[in-house]
Amino acid sequence: MTNRQARQERQRAKAKKGQYQWLIYMGIGAVILVGLIVLSQLFSGPRQTTYTQKDGMQLGAADAPVTVIEFLDFQCPHCLNSYNSVEEDMIAEYVDTGKVRLMYYVVGFLGPESVNSAEAAYCAAAQNYFWEFHDVVFAPVNFSNGNVGGYSDAKLIDMAGKVAGMDTQAFSACMASDEKIPEVQAAHDVAASLGVSGTPAFVINGQVLGGAQPFSRLQQVIEEALETAGAN
């Protein structure tokens, strides 16, 4: 190999090394970016929504032609997904326009902390802060499942303290008294009467849709119900 050939070979090797380093740096940058996105989602706070026409666990006009009921369990990941992918669109397109009255039944199908968080939901509803409270519970920084302590009384009282206007002393007393346990049981009874045994589950003017549903499917059933009611 001549000196010229050796020099060219060294230059090619150097260029190839530079390409490898560039790819490594790009890979590291991508990993860091993904990590930052995940962290921002993990520690993001609750949704900031102003709810109008709220009444306990019901939202929207009392004379809306269609009623949508959702059964949820705060430890249910699919309920969290439904909250993130369906609820805002449902409210904007149908509740705020007077077409749908949205109702929740919070149940405790997944263990003691499901029951505890359901009880907390009814305590919040007693002060007419259910909707704001459920935003806090479903915030990525607060969501918990597996009965691992995420929905202890202390944690739920702390979450209630993040709801502007909530009387946390009254909320704490409500939790301590277990006075809302009958309402949790009543929600279970309603679920059983409709054949609902898992969450999420939707009931649209009497039609039961079990399991997580894309918004497009709920739209289809709501539009059919509006047509039947002569409200389209």
- The 10s digit of each residue's pLDDT in 128-145 is 999 999 999 999 988 998
Report d(CA 152, CA 6) in Å as an integer.
71
Per CATH, the number for 54-228 is 3.40.30.10
Please measure the distance between the N-terminal and C-terminal CA atoms of the chain and give it in whole angstroms.
84
The pLDDT-based confidence of 42 (bands split at 50, 70, 90) is very low
The mean pLDDT of 209-218, rounded to a whole number, is 96
Interacting residues of 119 by C-beta distance below 8 A, sequence separation 6+:
108, 175, 178, 180, 181, 184
Cβ neighbours around 65 below 10 Å, total = 18
- Could you state, in order of their start, the residue ranges of all structural domains in the chain? 1-42, 54-228
